[in-house]
Amino acid sequence: MITVDARGLRCPAPVIRLARAAADAPPGTELTVLATDPAAVHDVPAWARMRGHAMVGATEQDGVHALTVRTHA
């Protein structure tokens, strides 16, 4: 389980940070990106779909979105 902190960053930076972390991780890794940019809520699932990763979960607390993906095997 890897956490990527992209709080305070605007689109497309959260997705890029997540993609960098995913590229370095072994297949099947779960990664959670923390983001305050509302666009990340839409763009992380869209990125996961384009890259063949699975969306595992999405929660929000105090304006911070936690979006979790599992990289494809």
Per DSSP, 54 falls in state E
CB-CB neighbours of 12 under 10 Å: 14
Residues in the chain: 73
Q: Closest CB to another protein among 45 and 70? A: 45
Total number of residues that touch another protein (CB under 8 A): 19
Is residue 11 annotated as part of the catalytic site, yes or no?
Answer: yes
CA distance 19 to 8: 17
Q: Which H/E stretch holds residue 4?
A: strand 2-6
Question: Which residue among 11, 41, 55, 66 is the active-site one?
Answer: 11
3-state SS, residue 16: helix
Site for another protein in 9-68 (CB under 8 A): 10-12, 15-16, 19-20, 23, 37-39, 41-43, 45-47, 49-50
- Binding residues vs another protein (CB under 8 A): 10-12, 15-16, 19-20, 23, 37-39, 41-43, 45-47, 49-50
Residues tagged active-site? 11
